[in-house]
Amino acid sequence: MPDPAVLARAMEQAHRARLSEHDVTLGANRLPMAFSFDYDVRRWDLRAIVRDYFGTDALETLHEDPRWNPPDPVHAPPNTATLQNSWDVSKALRAAVIDRVMPVLDSLIHHRIADFVERIVSHQPQAMMRVNFHGSRAILRFHTDREYGQRDRALNIWLPVTRVYGSNSLYFESAPGLSDFKPVVLDYGQALLFYGTELQHGTLDNMSGGTRISLDFRVSV
């Protein structure tokens, strides 16, 4: 359990950074249904792990790199005419770096995300990792995680390692059933905590001009 003063400061930050006017009560925890939070990228530098895999720090323009988006005889990169969703690249990235990623996330969960809740019971053993090139099709249809059996006391963490905005971001509604979908805008060093059990969320075809690389996982409180 975090120090009461730390918890009070963290919850003040969560309410200042709320992205939903509605709260959810999970056990002893009362949280905004969606809020953003900052974390120290020097301590938890997940972008560096992704950068090492791709061999470049130009992650936002990865769709222009012919290694990952090969040209064809007609189209030069970014070849949005043929580029579909980026599952193959996402799966290859995850397989290559997940053993480096999870110790960093485990520390982030227990030394930063834990600031916002009374107690974390468990967390997803392995995070998902998603590469969404400019020109890629939508990865996720709009849904609630209850449709997939998510438990009531689970919270979603969505953590991009690139800047996200517009159609390269995650869209969610501000309260269950409102369908007032808006994209979250985050820089590296910011993440989104939201109650995906009840809030509908999903992605659009990425026509933003930027590639998005993100991690997502759940914690139970």
Domain harbouring 26, CATH code: 2.60.120.620
CA–CA dist 167, 107 (Å, integer) = 30
Q: Does the residue 12 lie in any domain? A: yes
- 30, with CB counted inside 10 A (0-12, 13-18, 19+), is exposed
Domain count within the chain:
1
Q: Does the residue 162 lie in any domain? A: yes
pLDDT digits (tens), the chain, 221 positions = 667 777 778 778 777 788 888 999 988 889 999 999 999 999 999 999 999 999 999 999 998 887 777 666 666 655 555 455 578 889 999 999 999 999 999 999 999 999 998 889 999 999 999 999 888 888 778 999 888 777 788 999 999 999 999 999 999 999 999 999 999 999 999 999 999 999 999 999 899 999 999 999 999 99
In our burial notation (b when 16+ CB lie closer than 10 A, e otherwise), range 115-147 reads bbbeebeebbeebebbbbbbbbeebeeeebbee
Q: How far is CA 177 from the centre of its chain?
A: 22
Range of the domain at 204: 4-57+85-220
Beta bridge partners of 192: 36, 158
Sequence-separated (6 or more) residues with CB below 8 Å from residue 168:
132, 134, 206, 208, 210, 211, 212
Sequence-separated (6 or more) residues with CB below 8 Å from residue 84:
136, 137
Q: Does the residue 80 lie in any domain? A: no
Q: Does the residue 75 lie in any domain? A: no
Q: Does the residue 127 lie in any domain? A: yes
Q: Does the residue 213 lie in any domain? A: yes
pLDDT at position 72 is 66
* Cis ω before 4 (30° cut-off from 0): no
Beta bridge partners of 37: 191
CA–CA dist 170, 79 (Å, integer) = 23
Q: How far is CA 86 from the centre of its chain?
A: 16
Q: Comparing C-alpha atoms, which of 182, 181, 176, 183 is closest to residue 160?
A: 183
Beta bridge partners of 15: none
Q: Does the residue 66 lie in any domain? A: no
Question: pTM for the full model?
Answer: 0.90
Q: Does the residue 62 lie in any domain? A: no
